[in-house]
């Protein structure tokens, strides 16, 4: 367990999936957490997490709402130590059929939101003299492309570079910036998008050496590590939580469910 006693965190995209798992883990490790999401059910999730959780409804890709989010976090916590940029969406379409509006929407939510939230929070950290930690949720698809996920792949590749350039800029202020690149994690989104049939499950497992999908809690454990003191000499890195997928240049045999 990371020692996050006395620390405060903002987590975007926290109403479900990896974001909610990160909030649950950070609270278990002693932090107070503001869950941020456009979906109102985030309020219910925050209530379930108890007194150390609160909820703020916002679109993390809109500057005015980000500024309001940061002001609310300061009012609630007094200071901000940790930011986890987790808000993200996908849009499947062949390259020749992808619409401009859909490309812009994915880039705004997946990439611009990280810039806006990080800049706003980092300004507060610098003003308060806080040695903070910012964590950007990337993906294996920052490096491994999927043909019908054009804006998602592009946005995640850019997130890795944003992580590096932020880390260089903020190092003089003792603010560390790192990324996490999940593989296929068993969120509701993944179950609907890529694990909806035996064929798609077979495809995923054939390129996963550990022969299983990951759990949101396994990503959250890495987030807690990056948020806490045990990663104090790490910045500008993206850690891949992918069951070995990034190291693989072939497919592996998959056992049928009946075996």
pLDDT digits 0-9 by tens, 9-25: 999 999 999 999 999 99
Give the residue from 11, 35, 12, 19 showing the smallest Cα distance to 216: 19
Contact 179, 159 (CB under 8 A): yes
Catalytic residue (choose from 152, 233, 240, 250): 152
Residue in this structure with the two tokens 């003792």, named with its chain if needed? 174
Give the residue from 113, 119, 154 showing the smallest Cα distance to 14: 113
| Joined tokens for residue 246 | 């990034």
Percent of the chain with pLDDT over 90: 88
In the DSSP assignment, the letter for residue 214 is B
Average pLDDT over every residue of 153-180? 98
Those residues whose C-beta lies under 8 Å from the C-beta of residue 134, and which sit 6 or more positions away, are 82, 83, 84, 85, 118, 121, 122, 166, 170, 175, 176, 177, 178
Residue in this structure with the two tokens 């925050």, named with its chain if needed? 46
Model confidence at 258, pLDDT cuts 50, 70, 90, reads very low
pLDDT exceeds cutoff 90 at 168:
yes
pLDDT exceeds cutoff 50 at 259:
no
Give the residue from 28, 16, 129, 23 showing the smallest Cα distance to 81: 129
pLDDT on residue 200: 83
pTM given for the model: 0.95
List pLDDT tens digits, range 184-229: 999 987 777 667 788 888 888 999 999 999 999 999 999 999 999 9
List pLDDT tens digits, range 89-101: 999 999 999 999 9
Average pLDDT over every residue of 36-41? 96
Average pLDDT over every residue of 47-63? 98
pLDDT on residue 126: 98
In the beta sheet, which residues pair with residue 10?
34, 83
Return the exposure string of 183-198: e unless at least 16 CB atoms fall within 10 Å of the residue's CB, then b. bbbbbebbeeebbeee
Average pLDDT across the chain, whole number = 95
Percent of the chain with pLDDT over 70: 98
| Joined tokens for residue 134 | 């910012």
Average pLDDT over every residue of 129-150? 97
User: Does residue 240 carry a catalytic annotation?
Assistant: no
pLDDT on residue 251: 86
pLDDT exceeds cutoff 70 at 45:
yes
pLDDT on residue 149: 95
DSSP line for 146-192: -TTBHHHHHHHHHHHHHHHHHHHHHGGGT-EEEEEEE-SB--HHHHH
Residue 32's φ and ψ, nearest 5 degrees, are -100, 140
Model confidence at 181, pLDDT cuts 50, 70, 90, reads very high
Those residues whose C-beta lies under 8 Å from the C-beta of residue 218, and which sit 6 or more positions away, are 185, 241
Residue in this structure with the two tokens 């990160």, named with its chain if needed? 22
Contact 206, 254 (CB under 8 A): yes
Strands (E), the chain: 8-12, 32-37, 53-57, 82-85, 133-137, 176-182, 238-241
């Amino acid at each position: 367990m990371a020692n996050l006693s006395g620390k405060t965190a903002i987590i975007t995209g926290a109403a479900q999936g990896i974001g909610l798992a990160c909030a649950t883990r950070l609270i278990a490790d002693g932090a107070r957490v503001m869950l941020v999401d456009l979906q109102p059910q985030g309020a219910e999730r925050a209530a379930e997490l108890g007194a150390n959780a609160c909820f703020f409804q916002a679109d993390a890709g809109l500057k005015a709402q980000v500024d309001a989010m940061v002001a609310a976090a300061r009012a609630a916590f007094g200071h901000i130590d940790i930011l986890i940029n987790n808000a993200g969406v996908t849009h499947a379409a062949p390259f020749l059929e992808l619409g401009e509006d859909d490309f812009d929407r994915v880039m705004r939510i997946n990439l611009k939101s990280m810039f806006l939230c990080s800049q706003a929070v980092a300004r507060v950290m610098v003003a308060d003299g806080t040695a903070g930690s910012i964590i950007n949720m990337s993906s294996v698809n920052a490096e491994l492309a999927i043909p019908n996920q054009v804006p998602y792949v592009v946005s995640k590749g850019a997130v890795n570079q944003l992580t590096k350039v932020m880390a260089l800029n903020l190092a003089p202020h003792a603010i560390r910036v790192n990324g996490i690149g999940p593989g296929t994690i068993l969120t509701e989104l993944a179950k609907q998008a890529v694990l909806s049939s035996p064929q798609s499950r077979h495809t995923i497992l054939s390129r996963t050496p550990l022969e299983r999908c990951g759990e949101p809690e396994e990503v959250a454990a890495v987030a807690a590590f990056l948020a806490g003191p045990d990663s104090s000499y790490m910045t500008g890195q993206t850690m891949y939580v992918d069951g070995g997928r990034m190291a693989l240049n072939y497919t592996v045999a998959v056992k049928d469910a009946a075996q």
